[in-house]
Structure 1
Amino acid sequence: MNRHKSHINRTALTLVGLVLLAAGALALAKALGAFGRRTGHLMTPAMERFAAQHQWFWWAVAAGLLVLVVLGLSWLLAQGGSDRVRGGLHLADGPDGVTRMNAGAATDAVTSELKALPGVQDAHTTLAGTPDKPYLRVNVTIDESTDVASFRTRLRNHVIARLRTALELDHLQSLVRLRLANTPKPRDLA
């Protein structure tokens, strides 16, 4: 999830939480008699008369709740979204047609190349962004004995450079997360 989406989620959930907390506190205070005598009803008699006299009131309440449900569902569906490049990457237009490369094929090739490097235990890559302006995300688990500086140089100058050439890009932004493999500590056998 990107930072912008995370910020919107935190803000929206904070606002919804505060509104629900205030509504719950008001309902509890009313039930405990903070606004006069204790009653078993949440609505005042005037509110009940208003609802009974205006047929549209409950329809408006239902419409408002329906809008809240639709907003909630759209927010929930947005959480499942991804910024991965879908489909193909546009490489070239020519008189004979269009050249496209499947994003999955490109990342599979990079992942295979990474896993073949010495010291790499696991690797996972994705292309994110748009088909016209992709960026590469790389997660690599390496052995503790691997020289990180030389690995980074090999990754930048060979693996990422080869992908940039294949995609015919002048510049390919990349986010690389290196993780050192957990090696089990030796056990005492005595």
Structure 2
Amino acid sequence: MSTSAARRALGRSYGAERALTLVAGLIATLAGAAALMVGLGWLGRFRGQRALLDPIAVRWLGDHALYARIGALVLGVLLLVLGLWWFFRSLRPEPRPDLQLDETPGAELTVTSAAIAGAVQADAEDITGVTRARVRAVGTKAEPALRVTLWLSEDTDVRRVWSDLDTYVLTRARESLGLDVLPTAVRLELDTAGPARVR
């Protein structure tokens, strides 16, 4: 199984958003720092007293109006394309792979992603100390992966929960699906407001 494909499947909901936020934050920080330096006069007292639109820049734009308009038009189109791509990418549902365990004609056996997630979730909620769980099957049919979130009660032995999850829940899922490798991203949270589970 491709490690990069598994990483993409497991990190899809956070990776791109974090990257975009980081880039936007860096640009805003640099712009703010530059404005602060100019306003405080660190780049010269005269420059700090100038108008927001530098007369030299305005004059240059007037002398090269055609190139400035073309540049602004190209930049606007690029920003529009980027914005539309990001908008439709955000609306696109995350793929949920259904696994075909048997492709024999007349005896096909397909396990849906909801069934996989439900079975793993039920097993994870049976672990002592886990108050609730949420599981999602992600990735592709050829390279499935799991995203697991566990809410733990207070004073839970995290090492034991981790061990039970690995040796019991995930091993059983791999064996049931006939997979050698099933990449899994696990998130642990403390459930302070959840009611006690009745068994």
Please classify the TM superposition score into its range, dividing by the shorter chain length.
0.5 to 0.7
SS in 1 for 2:181: coil
**Are the counterparts in 2 of residues 85 and 131 from structure 1 also a CA contact under 8 Å?**
no
| Root mean square deviation, CA, Å | 4.3
Counterparts of 1:23 and 1:153, CA distance in 2: 51
SS in 2 for 1:72: helix
Summarize the Cα distance change of 1:44–1:143 in structure 2 as closer, same or farther, 3 Å threshold. closer
- Deviating more after overlay: 12-21 vs 61-70: 12-21
Structure number with larger C-alpha Rg: 1
Q: Aligned residues: percent identity?
A: 24
SS in 2 for 1:124: strand
Summarize the Cα distance change of 1:39–1:139 in structure 2 as closer, same or farther, 3 Å threshold. closer
Which structure carries more helix by proportion?
A: 2
2:61 maps to 47
Report the residue type matching 2:135 in the other structure.
T
1:61 maps to 72
Q: Does 1:170 align with 2:180?
A: yes
Of 28, 31, 35, the match for 1:17: 28
Counterparts of 2:81 and 2:34, CA distance in 1: 21
How many residues align? The count is: 178
1:186 maps to none
Q: Does 1:34 align with 2:47?
A: yes
Can you give the 5+ residue segments of structure 1 that lack an aligned partner in the other structure? 184-190
SS in 2 for 1:166: helix
Q: In the TM superposition, what is the alpha-carbon distance from 1:14 to its structure 2 partner?
A: 5.2
Can you give the 5+ residue segments of structure 2 that lack an aligned partner in the other structure? 1-9, 194-199
Structure 1 segment 1-190 matched on structure 2, within 5 A: 2=11, 5=16, 8-9=19-20, 12-13=23-24, 16-17=27-28, 20-21=31-32, 34=47, 42=54, 43-45=57-59, 47-51=61-65, 54=66, 58=69, 60-75=71-86, 77-78=88-89, 85-96=95-106, 99-144=109-154, 146=156, 148-182=158-192
Counterparts of 1:50 and 1:179, CA distance in 2: 58
Q: In the TM superposition, what is the alpha-carbon distance from 1:124 to its structure 2 partner?
A: 0.9
Q: In the TM superposition, what is the alpha-carbon distance from 1:71 to its structure 2 partner?
A: 1.7
Q: In the TM superposition, what is the alpha-carbon distance from 1:146 to its structure 2 partner?
A: 4.9
TM, length-normalised to structure 2: 0.61
Superposed CA deviations along residues 12-67 of structure 1, whole A, max 9, x for unmatched, are 335533674588679979xx9529x956865534532442xx4x753552332121
User: With CA pairs under 8 Å and 6+ residues apart, which has the higher RCO, 1 or 2?
Assistant: 2
Superposed CA deviations along residues 53-95 of structure 1, whole A, max 9, x for unmatched, are x4x753552332121232234345546667x542423434334
**Are the counterparts in 2 of residues 33 and 39 from structure 1 also a CA contact under 8 Å?**
no
Report the residue type matching 1:72 in the other structure.
G
Counterparts of 2:53 and 2:158, CA distance in 1: 68
Q: In the TM superposition, what is the alpha-carbon distance from 1:139 to its structure 2 partner?
A: 1.8
Summarize the Cα distance change of 1:90–1:27 in structure 2 as closer, same or farther, 3 Å threshold. farther
